[in-house]
Structure 1
Amino acid sequence: MQPEEWPFSRIAGFDVLNARPLGGGLSNRCWQLVLHSSTSSDSHAVWRPVSPASQAFGVDRQQEYQLLSAIQPCPFAPHPIAETPAGILVEWIAGEVCTHSPSPAVMMALQAKIHRLPLPGWRLAVRQRAEQYLAAISPEDNGEELASVCAHYFSHIPQSGFPDTCCHHDLGFYNLIQRPGGELAVIDWEYAAAGDPMLDLALTVQANQLEVVTAAQHYCRYQGGDPELVSEAVQQWLPWCDFLAMLWYYAGANLWQDDTYRIEAKALLAKLAVA
C-alpha cells in the first residue's frame, strides 16, 4: 500500500491532514497520522489497523487498546487515543528508534517495570499461539519434518512455576524509542498479555542477544528472586522462542508471499530438528 492509498479523510472523529506508512511492524501496516480536531490543536498519532495479518498472528486490537488504557499513567507506553472496529489510534512518541540494545541493566530495569504493571485479563497460551501460526502456514511448507518438530514442542511446554505478570512479549530494541530527553519508551504492545514472566524474559534475551546469566542477575536486582532459578527458567524457554519464531516466519512467508521469511523459517527448522 502506497501513501496515496490512505483511504480515510476522517477517522474516529478526527480530520486526517497527513498520513504516511511506517516501516517495521511486521504483523501489520501501521501509519503515522497528523490529526485535526475542532476542540484541540493538531496532533500526531499512530493508526494500528485490524488486518488479515494481525488476525493471523493473534493480534487483538481491542485488547491492545484496553491494556494501554489500563496502564495509561505509565510514563514509558503510548497513550491510547481512540478505538474503532477497524483499528486503534495511539499516541505518536517522538524520538529515535533504538538501533541496538541498551545495556543489560537498562533492559532488565525496563523488563521489571513491565512485569509490575497491572495484570491483563487475558493470557498468552503458547500452544494456542503456536497452533494459530501453524494454521496460517502454506500446506507446501507443512511437511513431515515440521510436523515432527511441532509434536516434540507441543509435548514439552516449560512450566517455570513463576506467577503470571504483565508481559510485553516483544521487548526488542527495535520497539524502544529514545525520547529527546533520553528516556526510553516502549511501543508495539500488540502481543502484550498476562503470561509466564520467564517466557517474556527469554524473548527479551533472544531479541536483544543478551547473555542469560547476566540478564538474570540484573532482572533479580530490580524484581527480586534467585538469579540461578531465573536463569534455569529462561534457558528452558529459549528453544520455545525459536519454535515460535520459526512458525511466525513460515506464516509470514505465506501471508506476504516473501521467500526471505521462508529462508529464516527453514534455518530455524534445521536448528530445532537437530536439537
Structure 2
Amino acid sequence: MATELPLSGGLTNRNTRLRLPDGREAFLRQGHPVPASLGIDRAVEWQLYREAAAAGLSPPCHYADPARGLLLIDWCAEPSWAEAPPPQTQAIPALARVLAVLHRFAVPPVQMAVRAHAARYRRQLAVLPSWLSALERPLLASREPDECWLACHHDLSPANLLGPRPWVVDWEYGAAGHPGFELASILRTHGWSEEDGDALEACYRAAGGSCFELNFRPFLPWVDYIALLWALVRRGEGEDPAIEAWIARYRQRLE
C-alpha cells in the first residue's frame, strides 16, 4: 500500500506525494471540484499535458481522469523556481526555449480570451467592491491585440517550474491564447521588467519561436486585472486569510 504525504502550496487543488512499496514516488493531483468556475477545461489540460510529456517539457504521467480532475505523474525531486530561483541570465533563455516548444503544439479548441476570462471571474462576485468600476473602466475601454492564437500554459509562474531544465507542471489553465498574454503573465509572476520581456522575446526568436512579435505590453494590465478578480473570488470563498495582500498589490498596480 502506498504511503500518502499531503503537500501544501496548492491554491485550489489537493496534492499528495505517494511513496510506493517498491520505493518509487509519484505526485497525485486532485483538482478543484468545479473547474469551470476557474476557467479550467480538464480535457484541454490533459491534451496539453500529453503533448508536454511527449516533448520532454513535463514529467511522465501514469494515470489521468479529466472528468474527476485526477492526475498521477512521476515525482520530481528538483526544487521549484520559487524555492531555488536560477540566475536570471539562465532563467530567461530557459523559459524562451519552453515557449518555443510549447507554441509548436496543436492549438487547443478552447480559447482563453482575456475579456471572457476576466468576465467569468467578475460574474462570480456576489458583492462588487465600490472602487472596482472606476478601476476597470480604462482597461475595458482599451483594445488588446487578438491577431495570434497559439497553445499557451497561462501559469508559468516560479512555483510551476522545477529544476534548471525546467520541468513544467500545472497545466490547468492551458488553452489557446495570445502569446503576449503568456509573456506578460511571466513578467508579473517572476517580478521581471519590461526590458526583461524584450530579452526573453529575443531569446524566444533565437530558439525558433513561431510568433514573430509577442506584443506583451498591452497585456500587462490585463494580467493585473485578472489576478485581482481571481483574488476577490477567493476572498468570497473565505479560504485564504492572506488574500488581502494579494488584492492590495494588484489593485495598486491598476490605480
TM-score, length of structure 1 as denominator length: 0.78
- 1:165-196: per-residue Cα shift (whole Å, max 9, x none)? 11111112221111xxx532111111111111
8 Å Cα contact 2:180/2:217 also seen in 1: no
Any idea what SS the aligned residue of 1:122 has?
A: coil
Tell me what 1:267 maps to: 249
Any idea what SS the aligned residue of 1:117 has?
A: coil
8 Å Cα contact 2:105/2:151 also seen in 1: yes
* One of 137, 140, 144 as aligned partner of 1:154: 140
* One of 189, 209, 221 as aligned partner of 2:191: 209
- 1:222-250: per-residue Cα shift (whole Å, max 9, x none)? 21665xx54xx211111111111111111
For residues 65 and 122 of structure 1, what CA distance do their matches in structure 2 show? 13
Any idea what SS the aligned residue of 1:103 has?
A: helix
Structure with bigger RCO (C-alpha 8 Å, 6+ apart): 2
Any idea what SS the aligned residue of 1:47 has?
A: strand
Letter in 2 for 1:215: L
Map 1:210-249; keep pairs closer than 5 Å.
210=192, 211-222=196-207, 223=209, 229-230=213-214, 233-249=215-231
Tell me what 1:105 maps to: 93
Tell me what 2:175 maps to: 193
Is 242-251 or 145-154 further displaced after alignment? Answer: 145-154
Give the deviation of 1:82 after TM superposition. Answer: 2.4
For residues 220 and 54 of structure 1, what CA distance do their matches in structure 2 show? 34
8 Å Cα contact 1:49/1:61 also seen in 2: no
- 1:106-128: per-residue Cα shift (whole Å, max 9, x none)? 22122222222222222112222
8 Å Cα contact 1:168/1:189 also seen in 2: yes
Map 1:1-275; keep pairs closer than 5 Å.
17-34=2-19, 43-52=24-33, 54-84=35-65, 85-91=67-73, 92-98=75-81, 99-101=84-86, 102-139=90-127, 142-161=128-147, 163-178=148-163, 183-210=165-192, 211-222=196-207, 223=209, 229-230=213-214, 233-272=215-254, 274=255
For residues 135 and 33 of structure 2, what CA distance do their matches in structure 1 show? 26
8 Å Cα contact 1:71/1:118 also seen in 2: no
8 Å Cα contact 2:51/2:105 also seen in 1: no
Give the deviation of 1:54 after TM superposition. Answer: 4.1
For residues 191 and 96 of structure 1, what CA distance do their matches in structure 2 show? 22
Structure 1 residues 45 and 106: alpha-carbon distance in aligned structure 2, compared to 1, 3 A threshold: same
User: Larger % of strand: which?
Assistant: 1
Same amino acid, percent of matched pairs:
25
Give the deviation of 1:95 after TM superposition. Answer: 1.9
- 1:121-149: per-residue Cα shift (whole Å, max 9, x none)? 2211222221222233352xx12321233
8 Å Cα contact 2:45/2:171 also seen in 1: yes
8 Å Cα contact 1:136/1:255 also seen in 2: no
Any idea what SS the aligned residue of 2:133 has?
A: helix
8 Å Cα contact 1:27/1:53 also seen in 2: no
8 Å Cα contact 1:53/1:255 also seen in 2: no
Structure 1 residues 204 and 156: alpha-carbon distance in aligned structure 2, compared to 1, 3 A threshold: same
Unaligned stretches of 5+ residues in structure 2: none
Any idea what SS the aligned residue of 1:30 has?
A: strand
Any idea what SS the aligned residue of 1:113 has?
A: helix
For residues 53 and 211 of structure 2, what CA distance do their matches in structure 1 show? 28
Any idea what SS the aligned residue of 1:32 has?
A: strand
The count of residues paired between Structure 1 and Structure 2 equals 244
Unaligned stretches of 5+ residues in structure 1: 1-15
Structure 1 residues 200 and 130: alpha-carbon distance in aligned structure 2, compared to 1, 3 A threshold: same
Letter in 2 for 1:218: C
